[in-house]
Structure 1
Amino acid sequence: MASAFKSRLRGLVNPTQETPVAEVREKTSTDKEAAVVDNQAQEPVDAAQQSDDEISRDAQPGVQGIEAFTKVWTRSHMIIAYITIWVIYFVDAMQSSMASLLTPFVTSSFQRHSLTATTGIMSYLIGGLIKLPLAKVLDIWGRPTGYAAMVFCLTIGLIMMAACNAVETYAAGQVFYWVGYNGIAYCCSIFIADTSSLRNRSLMFAFVSSPYIITVWIGGPLATAFLEGPGFRWGFGVFAIITPVICSPLLILYYINYRKAHRMGLIPKRESNRTAWQSVKYYFIEFDVIGILILCTGLGLFLLSFSLYSYQAEQWKSPLIICFLIFGGLLCIAFPIYEKYVAPVTFFPYHLLLDRTVLGACILSGALFVSFYIWDSFFPSFLMVVNNLSPTKTNYVTYIYSIGSCFWSFIVGYAIRRTGTFKWLALYFGVPITILGVGLMINFRQPDVNVGFIVMCQIFIAFGGGTLVICEQMAAMAAVSHQYVATVIAIEGCFASVGGAIGSTLAAAIWTGTFPYRLAEHLPEEAKSQAMTIYGDITTQLSFEFGSPIRHAISQAYGDSQRYMLIAATAVQVISIASVWVWRDINVKEFKQTKGLVF
């Protein structure tokens, strides 16, 4: 979902498509004020111009294509599509839960366990920012094209991770993997938004997320089986074969029904009359390639400096780190300047962010991910080293969030369907219980504390997170027409991924800035010479007998670092309160957003 040309922004919102928010308008000062302060005006609909079931004439080709798709497909195809999406989520959830457990062992195999969080920074960043260009692919070239491209990226990433011979190759593979993983999930989310009514959409999201309730019990044993058997490489290699197979049925359904819609003349033919070179130039500008490169490079350099400084002899005084900070910061400053004064097509559709509900939902998404990745980045390692849990049991604890949030999302979806509103759920339940769960872990995630208290905190966070994720998505989608649904979900995903990258950066910075020093303090004199080896390898940490003086010293160092991480994660949650407070209390029962045969 992406923003259309600036010249296309005028009149693209079809008033027939119900929006409780003001129409998206030209970026004049008067309209900005109306969008931010009022956001309630709607223009009357001329029923003679276009009926509710007619394909939107002013919509982009991808939107017209999916509206034609929903007109010609059958109920049996709808059921097959949703079952296929459920299976895709099941396999992807299983492989991601396995991958999260394998990552510490992959980095440790290259003596770089402290880079566990760092390997994910660029992948989280690029994996999220790619959603806006992907949104344009979905809107311009159609849903099937974007979906097929993401399946390809995910498969390439798994192959690279399986064949890696250095941390750098593994990190590059993660970039492809997370681009594909997030992209497939995003394409499936857009498919659900395209084929469900707004009233039932939260329940449909809950349905396709339900595989996480099952895969939590599979990922741990699967990771253990590969670690004790053929090795982590086969863990990634097997899924490089499985993924294209389980993703193909949805592509087949796309092909069958798009072809049927073309034969019936529902999808208008479009000819660009451009040469190949003109097309390259057109899409280079349309996808704002320069803007994406400036933003990714700037954020990447700036964030990586915080996790890589400890590997430099001069640390913060290192020329490399100084260059990363200076050039990364300058590029981050240059991005909004380039977007405002130079870019013919902007990366972010800023006109949508003028709506307080959309902006609040995006800020909430970013804050949740910053907080989550601060406390989660070294959580599996903590459970294995400090609580002496096996990889399987560690997986069970770390995925309590997935189980609880997916289970709870059904209740949230039903509550939204019944009441038609969602703000009260987020403000009076989701935010407070999330803050409670993260805050309590400051005390409970320490050595010699029963793991049951950690489980309790995870349950609190799961119920809070399950509420907030559903509500933030509903808030963003309910604030716009069908034409912009793909775009606002992409913006929300961008905020989430940038938040994840920031969270991982802060986690890595706190870890590298505290753990080695605390470890050196706590280790017995005879073991201090092994401090750097212990610091860099989780296998070495686990090799010391649980309860021994050295293992206890390692656990104390973990506890010290975790305390700082959790204080930071709790502080970030304050942003969540304000971001939900500004939402409008939109009733999703009162308007229709999709067309054709939908749930």
Structure 2
Amino acid sequence: MVVETTGNHVSGLRSSFDRHGGKDKAETAEVTRACDAEESSEDERQGGGVSRKMIRIAYAVILITSLVESFAQDSTSDLAAYVTSSFNAHSMISTAQIVYKITAVCAYPILGKVADLLGRGEGFCLTMIMYTLCYVLFATCKRIGEYFAGQVFFAIGRIGFKTYLYIFIADTTSLINRGFWTQFPAAITGIPSTYAGSHIQDAFLDHSTWRWAYGTFAIILAGFIAPLSCVMFYVDHVQRKNGKRRKPTILMNLPEGSLMQKLKKIFLLDLDLIGGFLLLAGTILFFVPFTITGKTSPKKWNQGSTIAMLIIGFILLVLFVLWCAFPKRLPWLQTRQPFIPIQAFTNMTVLIAFLMVALDYCENAAFNVYFSTVLQVGGYYTAGQAARINDAKKTSIDIASILTGLMMKYTKRTKIFVLTGVPLLVLGHGLLVWFIDRDGVMEENTVLLYVMEIFCGVGRALYMTALQVTIQAIAGATSVAMSTAFFLAFTSVGTLIGTAISGVIWNNVAIDKLHDHLPDELQKNATMIFKNFKLALKMEEGTPGRLAVSLAYRETLQIIGWFALAVIIPMLGLMFFVREVELTDKHDIYGSDQETLSSNSKFIDDSVLNKEKRTWSNWWRV
């Protein structure tokens, strides 16, 4: 799987010997040993010093663990509504997701730094401990604040799992096969777990509690993550030992002198914790007010504390940009490695790729926050049925990602998949929003909802698979960890913005819609229904109260959906400016392979990427 080609010299030696015949058995054995030794050497060279057998074992363990991780995610994906409602805080779903996304935005660069400075294996082990702890916190939380704390660990654990797998696969594959193998583990395991997970979720809700759903997978996940952590640690150790990958630098070249000087180098110069603090504090202060304000919330937009949070958050984010842009200005921190290196944003294709995934995930997050709630209240679906409709997108992404990777392998092209995927995504989302409240009712043909979700999923799979390989190829083999982390970070940036805006619209519009449509005798219950959607589910179908809540929720979600459509429209223009990357058996566009990884020190070299000038006749492939 990882070794794409084996040296022609070995096969030539064997065929030549077969044509002329061996003089005796000893000579035959000698040639066989020589051929086997050369094949073994080739295997270890392609695997970064790790044998093909060990790489196969690693990928097998990855597949098994990915299946368990997918089941854990899909069997608990729609429990947030029940958790928040149990604390009479259903409208805080978007706040919980904001906590998750703020953590993710800040964690992605840190994970990339840890992978390079500390090691892939060590970083993976640390994040997996946090992943297990998050399910324990979910299962035992007594207050909504404890559930939010669990979201912090959940963000670090889940994105760490995904990020380190992507980095591992990129380290052990060439460009021509990377699109396929990057998507294969999540896709092949996500397909069965998507729908089976929704049935497991329904079973827990019907026969047990949401707490036991989280608690069960806390135990299962811990048992399966441990073997993968050992494998990742071993492979990373062997690659470093054989010089096929740069050794961790965080504990190297420490200055002579006091402990404080050593800590300064590690935390201020290498990890740049000041930059991390500016990003974290600025993001929290700027985005949280969007979800804690609203018609029924204690915080209002005209309150001084809310305005202060927005202003201070914005100032801190500006300071963060300046801090990363001018790392050499402070005399006592002149050797600082900025939290996000500015050279990551100097290439037009990389910038466009980051912007496109941010816009897409902004749309996806804004619409999905309350999509399950509206399907259950407005479409009369169960939690499992709503999850299966929503999961049609995930399943189509899984299947289409594998197919896109295979097509990229045989076409050796990337841009055509971007040009195909984006229009399909826009079409699917636009029609889905229309079906949510068409002529005053939700589309009764469930198949159409599935089809539109599939359109969105296939479109996202086409362009995302191509863009991820593109930015890894442009960034270079030695920068694959940071380039992957940045790419995934911008998905979280988009999701964070989309979730915040969705919370603003829902918190301010949904309550007004309920007052507009509820019968007079239920007006006094509008705020209670808004805070706990299970009250709406208890209303009998077809009654004036249930119809009123259904209409209010559908109209609110449609407003969010039209906004989300406006967000992704610019992608139809941006996609033309993505540069084509020719896929080869190398690890990047600069010709790096396992023997030359350490020598490639440039993050981006535009002269290699822009060899062919764009014209009106070649825009679709350049």
Bin of the TM-score, shorter chain as denominator length: 0.7 to 0.9
Matches within 5 A, 1:99-178: 99-178=76-155
Q: Aligned to 1:472, what secondary structure does the other structure show?
A: helix
Partner of 1:84: 61
Following superposition, the deviation at residue 588 of structure 1 comes to 1.0
Identity of aligned residues (%): 26
User: Normalized against structure 2, the TM-score is what?
Assistant: 0.81
Q: Which moved more, 1:289-298 or 1:190-199?
A: 289-298
**Structure 1 residues not aligned, in runs of 5+:** 1-52, 55-66
Partner of 1:582: 577
**Does residue 507 of the first structure (1) align with residue 502 of the second (2)?**
yes
Partner of 1:362: 354
**Does residue 441 of the first structure (1) align with residue 425 of the second (2)?**
no
Q: Aligned to 1:359, what secondary structure does the other structure show?
A: helix
Following superposition, the deviation at residue 258 of structure 1 comes to 5.4
1:68–1:148 Cα change, 3 Å? farther
Corresponding letter in the other structure for 2:223: V
Q: Aligned to 2:364, what secondary structure does the other structure show?
A: helix
- Aligned CA RMSD, in angstroms, stands at 2.4
CA contact (8 A) 1:412 1:467 kept: yes
Partner of 2:491: 496
Q: Give 2:192's match in structure 1, choosing from 191, 194, 214.
A: 214
Q: Give 1:328's match in structure 2, choosing from 308, 313, 331.
A: 313
1:201–1:313 Cα change, 3 Å? closer
1:266–1:503 Cα change, 3 Å? closer
CA contact (8 A) 1:367 1:573 kept: yes
Q: Give 1:231's match in structure 2, choosing from 192, 202, 209.
A: 209
Matches within 5 A, 1:16-95: 70-95=47-72
Q: How many residues align?
A: 533
Partner of 2:519: 524
Following superposition, the deviation at residue 338 of structure 1 comes to 2.7
CA contact (8 A) 1:111 1:537 kept: yes
- Measured in 2, the distance between the counterparts of 1:468 and 1:262 equals 33
Structure with more relative contact order (C-alpha pairs < 8 Å, separation 6 or more): 1
User: Normalized against structure 1, the TM-score is what?
Assistant: 0.84
Following superposition, the deviation at residue 596 of structure 1 comes to 7.0
- Measured in 2, the distance between the counterparts of 1:197 and 1:159 equals 39
Following superposition, the deviation at residue 590 of structure 1 comes to 6.8
Q: Aligned to 1:72, what secondary structure does the other structure show?
A: coil
Matches within 5 A, 1:226-305: 226-257=204-235, 271-274=252-255, 276-285=259-268, 286-305=270-289
1:232–1:577 Cα change, 3 Å? same
Following superposition, the deviation at residue 466 of structure 1 comes to 1.1
Q: Tell which structure's C-alpha radius of gyration is larger.
A: 2
- Measured in 2, the distance between the counterparts of 1:518 and 1:117 equals 19
Corresponding letter in the other structure for 1:566: G
- Measured in 2, the distance between the counterparts of 1:435 and 1:242 equals 38
- Measured in 1, the distance between the counterparts of 2:539 and 2:502 equals 25
Matches within 5 A, 1:556-571: 556-571=551-566
CA contact (8 A) 2:78 2:387 kept: yes
CA contact (8 A) 2:114 2:123 kept: yes
Following superposition, the deviation at residue 435 of structure 1 comes to 0.5
1:266–1:196 Cα change, 3 Å? closer
Partner of 1:23: none
Q: Aligned to 2:475, what secondary structure does the other structure show?
A: coil
1:590–1:558 Cα change, 3 Å? same
Corresponding letter in the other structure for 1:242: I
Following superposition, the deviation at residue 263 of structure 1 comes to 7.1
- Measured in 2, the distance between the counterparts of 1:587 and 1:266 equals 24
- Measured in 1, the distance between the counterparts of 2:322 and 2:499 equals 27
Partner of 1:43: none
Partner of 1:378: 370
Following superposition, the deviation at residue 312 of structure 1 comes to 4.2
Q: Aligned to 1:99, what secondary structure does the other structure show?
A: coil
1:154–1:118 Cα change, 3 Å? same
Matches within 5 A, 1:419-434: 419-427=411-419, 429-434=420-425
1:301–1:68 Cα change, 3 Å? farther
**Structure 2 residues not aligned, in runs of 5+:** 1-39, 598-622
Corresponding letter in the other structure for 1:220: S
CA contact (8 A) 1:358 1:488 kept: no
1:162–1:69 Cα change, 3 Å? farther
